[in-house]
Amino acid sequence: MLTLDGLTKRYGDRVAVDDLSLTIRPGAVTGFLGPNGAGKSTTMRLILGLDHPTAGRALVKGRRYHEIPYPLRTVGALLDARAVHPNRSGRAHLRALARSNGIPARRVAEVIEAVGLAGAATRPAGALSLGMSQRLGIAAALLGDPEVLIFDEPVNGLDPDGVRWIRQLTRSLAGEGRTVLVSSHLMSEMQLTADHLVVIGRGRLLADAPLAEVVAGGTTAVVVRTPHAGDLAERLRAVGIGVERVGENELTATGASVERVGDLAFEAGIRLHRLGTREASLEQAYQELTARSVEYRATGTGV
């Protein structure tokens, strides 16, 4: 279990984490979401004792990280897959970690095999691809057979088989009763993986709820395809229905039912080629939750 109690981190005048309080429980994959600059990485660094909080505390199974005698046996983490001496082999890196935490040497071979690194374990870490570096980082996180696991963007650099493997691994670990926290920007993958979501923006908690509850909070839209999309958009807006043009002949409408949109099109003599609903997705719900918390936003599609 991870417990954050009033966790706050300031860097000068900037508040990176703002009075964050929540409990991340075992037996579920908890997705940790937020825009760039939201404070996710800082929060994970505070949990792992890599930064000191300005106020509040972060506890791993009721203790601060520095109070845990052999931390790798309690919490395993992947924050930066490249944080390995480039001239040291993956196997040597894992052996050093095992020795420092009183972990039997045989465990190194077990995790190398488990993450699919057997063919590359003797290569220098600096020669590994990003995907193989990710696997080495995951092996290090699993080394102490910990009850708590923290993964920051674990699918970076992985091919589709690797992405599916990570999904199965995290769900399997949670199924064993472990606490699993996964940070990611891939909404589609998170929707397939997470049971529970924690969403933050500008360091503040925006949501702490089961995945299904967060998705249900998103907006369901009516999707219309018609050769008269402009005329229909004008008609819908005239009665207060939100409209977004998706393409030349397609639009989405919010704030009205399929039946209402269909009736308005019929009354205006507008021929429809498609009329249906787009159910709320995690991506849609996430965008609505974080709309006011995006710190770094692009201003256009061209350069």
**Domain residue limits at 132:** 2-210
Going by pLDDT thresholds of 50, 70 and 90, the confidence category of residue 296 is: low
What percent of the chain has a predicted confidence (pLDDT) above 70?
96
Instruction: Pick the closest to residue 290 from 200, 208, 209 (CA basis).
Output: 200
CA gyration radius for the chain? 23
Alpha-carbon span 62 to 249, nearest angstrom = 57
Q: Verify that 48 and 196 share a domain, yes or no.
A: yes
Residues 182, 107, single domain; the answer is yes
**Per-residue pLDDT for 168 more than 80?**
yes
pLDDT digits (tens, 9 = 90+) for 92-118: 999 999 999 999 999 999 999 999 989
> What CA–CA distances, in Å, run from 92 to 124, 131, 265, 299?
9, 19, 69, 46
| Residue 250 burial (10 A CB sphere; 0-12, 13-18, 19+) | middle
Number of folded domains that form the chain: 2
Residue 134 has pLDDT above 80, yes or no: yes
pLDDT at position 62 is: 92
In this predicted structure, what is the pLDDT of residue 2?
Answer: 96
- 130 and 16, same domain (yes or no): yes
In a domain, 298, yes or no: no
Question: What CATH number is attached to the domain comprising 25?
Answer: 3.40.50.300
Q: If pLDDT is split at 50, 70 and 90, which confidence band does 23 have?
A: very high
Query: 163 CB contacts (<8 Å, ≥6 apart)?
Result: 155, 189
CATH number reported for the structural domain that contains residue 261 in this entry: 3.30.70.100
Q: Answer yes or no: is pLDDT of 295 > 70.
A: no
Q: How far apart are the first and last CA of the chain?
A: 46
pLDDT at 300: 53
What confidence tens digit (pLDDT) does each residue in 48-72 have? 999 999 999 999 999 999 999 999 9
For the chain, how long is the longest CA-to-CA vector?
Answer: 77
Q: Is 53:238 a contact under the CB 8 Å cutoff?
A: no
The mean pLDDT value of the chain amounts to 90
pLDDT at 297: 57
Separation CA 117–CA 98 (nearest Å): 17
| pLDDT tens per residue across span 189-224 | 888 999 999 999 989 999 999 998 888 777 678 899
Q: Is residue 127 part of a domain?
A: yes
More confident residue, 254 or 150: 150
Confirm if 199 and 217 have CB atoms less than 8 A apart: no
Shared-domain flag, residues 27 and 79? yes
Residue 159 binned pLDDT confidence (cut-offs 50, 70, 90): confident
End-of-domain residue from the set 190, 210, 230: 210
Residues 46 and 121 occupy one common structural domain: yes
